[in-house]
Amino acid sequence: RFHGEGYQEGYAEGIHAGMAEGRRYGALHGARVGLEIGCYLGFALTWHGLLQKSTDEKSSKKIRALDSLIGMIQKFPYEDSTYDKLQEDLEKIRGKFKQVRSMLNIQSDFRIGTERSSLTF
């Protein structure tokens, strides 16, 4: 009898603790993804504005790539945590960001840590 009661109490406590831990993990992971996507969008919008003044062919290719990156970010489902292709779309955005960086000949180091986040050029 005591074994059964202990099991039930432990099981209920485990469910409660697991839910709290899952919420914390989800909030932290969501914040990291939001930070990363926000940095990409800020980067793309800034460079888009800078390149608008240029009229050469190379600049128009860069602007098209930036437009594509901005469009991908704007379509990203921020509020739908059940979206099944979230990781796949995030990887596509990362790939496009790398392509744009390469086109602009910009080296970057993006790190997300528990102490601080940085995007350096």
As given in the structure block, the two tokens for residue 43 are 């980067």
**Domain ranges, ordered by start, for the chain:** 35-104
Please say whether the dihedral angle defined by the alpha carbons of residues 88, 95, 39 and 44, taken in this order, is positive or negative.
negative
Rounded CA separation 75/7 (Å): 47
Q: What is the pLDDT of residues 5-58, one digit of tens each?
A: 888 888 888 888 888 888 888 888 888 988 999 999 999 999 999 998 877 878
Segment 102-111, tens digit of pLDDT: 999 888 665 5
Q: Of all helices (H) and strands (E), which one includes residue 117?
A: strand 117-120
Classify residue 43 by burial, with Cβ atoms within 10 Å: 0-12, 13-18, 19+. buried
